[in-house]
Copies of this chain bind each other. A is one copy, B any other.
């Protein structure tokens, strides 16, 4: 593409991101849970900005914000989310919103562009009330009963109460309009260190990995920590620790090159200093973009549990509590991002899967979808120290806007 075409305004992008950071600021990050006051103010901020990008703003009954265009022709849907994890980073979500807004500002005002960029802010990507509620609602996978039952995982507030306090009770939810969009594009910080360690500017996402989650239970015998001889103990906590170490030793021989696994929570029962735990539980997660790898690892996990139970003194059970199929990103959109990166980022891009879940995996069930990553400093994510260099943010915006232009040009 010729160099004189309108491109992203880096200063405007940084100013927008900092304006959103000032709403609900926490240290250098933000605390902006879904339907909190700072979240509401952030949605209001976007609603005020959308008309400047040639878009009509609306909020639907689940808190999704849409900027829609009256321009004829196919539209590209672009977006991300505005709420944050508790006490977390300033870019996780807002980066994708501001890039989408910037693309709409640049391209919707450009008479050479056919169609338009439309903007969406999906509500609750971070899962305070559920799992991808906003984008899942848009693709038609959320029933009213799920909203009836949803509660804030931190405060316990019901989603119905929260929607009423937001002034959204009873408002219709907006669903996908088949044939309206050429596809969906979402930008995000990488949340890992692949780009930084490779001195790269752009990640072209090939797939969003599936997440399989397990509850692993250990049953021993609760007893007195002073009077029970070591030789006769059935310590469920120790059995759990041995199992964690065995996973660490045995998974590397069976996993794929990018498989990750995590024990995120451990609970001992009863959890008192003078009582030998009679029960223990760990929440264990495996992520990969290849279901065959997961199947191998799950089989290994179950074999290890059977071996541990047979060897004693505690019994081990493995219960699968979440199965997530990977989402493949559209190859043509990947090519568009890579071409934009060659034009504007010196080709410093890499194709890579996303280890984290994103709204794009929901959109991918109803339309072509793609994602673009920018580097995360130190790979840090879901923490208030999360950050990206200003220069990388600006480069990402330029590549993103150009990729949108290429996708709309077909």
Contacts and interface: CB of A to CB of B under 8 A. Distances in A.
A93 interface: no
B287 A228 contact: no
Contacts of A259: 230
Interface string A238-253: 1011101100100010
Given A222-B383, A241-B245, A266 B264 contact: no
A273 B380 CA distance: 17
A376 to B, nearest CB: 8
For the complex of A and B, list the 5 residue pairs with the smallest distance between their C-beta atoms, beginning with the closest. Answer: A226-B355, A192-B227, A241-B244, A191-B227, A225-B262
30 contacts: A190-B227, A191-B224, A191-B227, A192-B224, A192-B228, A193-B232, A211-B226, A222-B383, A223-B382, A225-B262, A225-B285, A226-B357, A227-B381, A228-B355, A228-B381, A232-B379, A237-B264, A238-B244, A238-B245, A241-B241, A263-B268, A264-B268, A264-B272, A264-B274, A264-B276, A264-B277, A266-B266, A266-B267, A274-B285, A278-B383
Contact of A379 (B223, B260, B271, B278): B223
A262 B285 contact: no
B381 A224 contact: yes
A277 B264 CA distance: 6
In this complex, the member of A209, A274, A379 whose beta carbon has the largest number of chain B beta carbons within 10 angstroms is A274
Nearest to A262: B225
Interface string A213-236: 100000001111111111010010
A277 B356 CA distance: 16
B273 A225 contact: no
B260 A226 contact: yes
A341 interface: no
Contacts of A58: none
Contacts of A228: 191-193, 260, 355, 379, 381
Interface of A: 190-194, 209, 211, 213, 221-230, 232, 235, 237-238, 240-242, 244-245, 248, 252, 258-268, 271-278, 283, 285, 287, 354-357, 376, 379-383
Given A262-B235, A263-B237, A193 B379 contact: no
Contacts of A273: 213, 262, 264-265, 283, 285
A399 to B, nearest CB: 20
B248 A244 contact: no
In this complex, the member of A211, A235, A248, A272 whose beta carbon has the largest number of chain B beta carbons within 10 angstroms is A272
Nearest to A192: B227
A356 B287 contact: no
A11 to B, nearest CB: 29
Given A194-B229, A224-B382, A226-B354, 13 more contacts: A191-B227, A193-B229, A222-B382, A223-B380, A223-B383, A225-B260, A225-B264, A227-B355, A228-B381, A229-B258, A265-B271, A266-B267, A273-B283
Nearest to A264: B273
A276 B248 CA distance: 14
Nearest to A282: B237
A248 B382 CA distance: 34
A282 to B, nearest CB: 9
B285 A224 contact: no
A227 B193 CA distance: 8
Contacts of A261: 230
Contacts of A357: 226
